[in-house]
Amino acid sequence: MEVARRAEYIGFLHRAPFATEAYALGFVTGAREDCRIQDSHLRNVDVPILMLDNDFNRPDLDRYLTRFREVEPEIGVVGDARTPEEAHTFVDAARELKSDYPDATIIIVPKCREAIDIVANADIPGESLVLGYAMGRSNIKAWHFSDIANWRGHRVHLLGASPTKQWRVIQELTQPNLTGDPPADIIGLDWNGPQGIAYKGESWSRDGWQDADFLSIRGTVRRSLREMRAFWEERGVWPAEGKTPIERLEPAVKEPDDPIWAANGGDLSDPDPLGSPDEWAELVDYADEDGPFPIEQAIVVTYEGGRTLAYRTQTERDYVEYYEGLKGKIADKRT
């Protein structure tokens, strides 16, 4: 049961800078096939699209397959199968992808009872397909057309809903039952809820939603992500050590290749080490208007003669440029 509950990945699919925070904490980052992470304008940030979702409200399989081949994600949610015919179509598409990307985790979301068996028993190269268990914004949830027993014994990804709701389903899918059904193998799960609720001034925590009016939107989402990670670590669902993207791949935020100095002489690197979950509550609120801020938030300006400075705020920039005589001598500016 412990092995069945241990996820291979936990996803948070959203744009930068929220994706930057999630990646640093160990979440899988990604986007819908018609969206972008929106980090191309940032000088030293490159958040990978490791999970590619589909727009289930406006599905287009050809568009999805084209985008998949462009970004080559590790995980793909190919589509939602509302009929047996759609299930077979998505299985054919998954078989095509697996022939070119044998290590990819391919998810198909059953939206009818027959689709569960079609997807779970599909003849696919390599590891079997993963069943997407719809829980979030979908108008057709998994329990609308199936019982928990239909999902047990299969590879499952939980789509959407808060960790507390996902945990209840994980328990139902994996705990011993009277009929001796094998547990489902919880391959992964994802939830993007904290970002939207952050604009209402609340963060998610292990004790429920908490007031966060005193935090920035980014700080609010960061707090929720840390609480989510702690929640899954406490229950043995968080991926095993060495399995998260930040442990396997390069950091998303790169140190600049050229010499850049903080205008105030300070350190631009993030002063917020991850630490242990018990330390996070004391660390999440560091980012006030006076900074310091992570490197990707800096205003980086290159002046004539090759001198480059990074400012924490526009006010700081105006002050330094005035007293250093740098106004009108700008060669390049990036934020």
Bridging pattern class, strands 208-211 and 202-205: antiparallel
Mean pLDDT of 26-52: 88
Do 335 and 300 form a contact (C-beta atoms < 8 A)? yes
Q: What are phi and psi of 33, to 5 degrees?
A: -65, -20
Query: How much is the average pLDDT of 185-206?
Result: 91
Predicted pLDDT of residue 215: 82
**Whole-number pLDDT of residue 298:** 67
Flag the least confident range among 30-44, 115-129, 199-213, 227-241. Answer: 30-44
Mean pLDDT computed over 291-302: 61
> 204 falls in which pLDDT band (50, 70, 90)?
very high
Contacts of 133 (CB under 8 A, 6+ apart): 109, 142, 151, 156, 157, 158, 159, 169, 173
> Which helix (H) or strand (E) is 154 found in, with range?
none
Rounded mean pLDDT, 208-231: 90
Question: Is pLDDT above 80 for 49?
Answer: yes
Instruction: For the full predicted model, state whether its pTM sits above 0.85.
Output: no
Cα–chain-centroid distance for residue 276? 20
Looking at the predicted structure, is the pLDDT value of residue 225 above 60?
A: yes
On whether the CB atoms of residues 252 and 23 are closer than 8 A, the answer is yes
Per-residue pLDDT of 108-157, as tens digits, reads 999 999 999 999 999 998 889 999 999 988 889 999 999 999 999 999 99
Percent of the chain with pLDDT over 90: 53
Nearest alpha-carbon partner for 10 in 79, 75, 70, 56: 75
The number of beta carbons lying within 10 Å of the beta carbon of residue 24 is 21
Q: In this structure, is the dihedral angle defined by the CA atoms of residues 87, 27, 240 and 235, taken in order, positive or negative? A: negative
At 312 the pLDDT is: 67
Distance CA 156, CA 141 (A): 14
Tell me if residue 299 falls in helix, strand or coil. Answer: strand
Report which of 82, 77, 74, 61 is spatially closest to residue 131, judged by C-alpha positions.
77
Structure token digits, residue 84: 């047996």
Is residue 18 a contact partner of residue 219, using CB atoms and an 8 Å limit?
Answer: no
Distances (CA, A) of 182 to 4, 28, 155, 177, 178: 10, 27, 11, 9, 11
pLDDT higher than 70, residue 297: no
Mean pLDDT of 302-317: 78
Q: Which CATH class is domain 9-254?
A: alpha beta
Q: How many C-beta neighbours within 10 Å does residue 314 have?
A: 10
Q: Which of 287, 313, 298, 296 is nearest to 215 (CA)?
A: 287
Mean pLDDT over 25-49 rounds to 87
Rounded average pLDDT over 90-113: 96
- pLDDT score of 2 more than 80: yes
154 near 184, Cβ under 8 Å?
yes
Mean pLDDT confidence for 41-56? 87
**Identity (one letter) of the amino acid at 229?**
R
**Cis omega (within 30 of 0) on the bond before 292?**
yes
**pLDDT tens string 260-281:** 455 554 444 444 444 444 444 4
**How confident is the model at residue 275, as a pLDDT?**
46
pLDDT at 132: 97
What average pLDDT does the structure give for the chain? Answer: 85
Task: Please report which residue ranges of the chain form alpha helices under DSSP H.
Answer: 2-5, 18-25, 61-71, 84-100, 113-120, 163-174, 193-198, 217-234, 245-248, 277-283, 314-324
Tokens representing residue 285 in the block: 């609120």
**Over residues 49-66, mean pLDDT:** 92
pLDDT of residue 330: 82
pLDDT at 119: 97
- As given in the structure block, the two tokens for residue 194 are 């904290």
pLDDT of residue 218: 86
Residue with tokens 């009016």: 213
| pLDDT value of residue 84 | 97
- pLDDT, average across residues 303-332: 79
